[in-house]
Structure 1
Amino acid sequence: MEDDVLGKVVETEKEIQQKLEREKLKAAQWLEKIRAEAEKEVSATEDILKKSFADELHEIKRNAEQRASEIVIEEREKAAMLEKTGDDFLRKIISRHLREILPGEKNDYEDVKS
C-alpha cells in the first residue's frame, strides 16, 4: 500500500510539474504578446511625434521666411524713401542733432519757442 501511495504522490507531483511548465509557457507567451503590442504602440506614437515635429518645423520655417520677406520689403521701402529725401531736409535733421550734441547751443531750434 505504501508503494501505491508513493506512486500516487510521484504521479501527482509530475502532474503539478507539467501544469507549472504549461503555466510558465502561457505566461511567457502572454508577456511576449504584451511586449510586441507595447513596441507597436511606442513605434506608432514615435511616428506621430516625428510627423508632428516635422509639420511644426515646416510651419516655423514658412513663418520665418514670410517674416524675413516682409522685413526685406519694409527695409527696401525705407531705403527708397531715404534716397528720395532731399539734401536740405537731411541737413536740417543733422543740424538739429548737432545742436543737441554741441555745448551751449541747446534749444536753439528754429521750430522751438523759448
Structure 2
Amino acid sequence: MDNTARLWNATTGQHTTTLTGHTDAVTAIAYSPDGTQLATTSDDGTTRLWTATTGQPLAVLVVLPDDGWAVLLPDGGYKLVGEAGDNLWWTIKMCRFEAGELDPYVPGLERLAEDVPILR
C-alpha cells in the first residue's frame, strides 16, 4: 500500500531491492519466464517493467481509454498504439503536454515506430 514493491532473497531472507515509481498501491507482480525481468501493476493505472536483479526501470505501460496503449522508456523514447484522443497527456517536470507536442523540441524524446521492439 506504500506504492512500492520489495524484493527479498529467498535463501537468506534479506531485503535486496525496493521498486519505486508507482503513484498508488502496487496490486500485482510477475516475473518473466527466464527470471530476468519483472512487471508490477498498480492502482495508478500503469504496468511497469523492471530488471529483476537491480530494480532498474525498463518501461511504463499505460492503457489508453480509447482502445490503445503507450509505453514510456527511461531514455525518453515512447511508443503509442491506438487512438489517444484528448485523453493522453505526457507529464514532464509537472507540466502537461499533448502526445507528440514536444518531440521536435526535446533532444532524446522520441516516438518509436510501431514495428520497433519496445525494449531496446
TM-score (norm 1): 0.14
User: Higher helix share goes to which structure?
Assistant: 1
**Rg larger for:** 1
Between the two structures, name the one with larger relative contact order (CA 8 Å, sep ≥ 6).
2
User: Higher strand share goes to which structure?
Assistant: 2
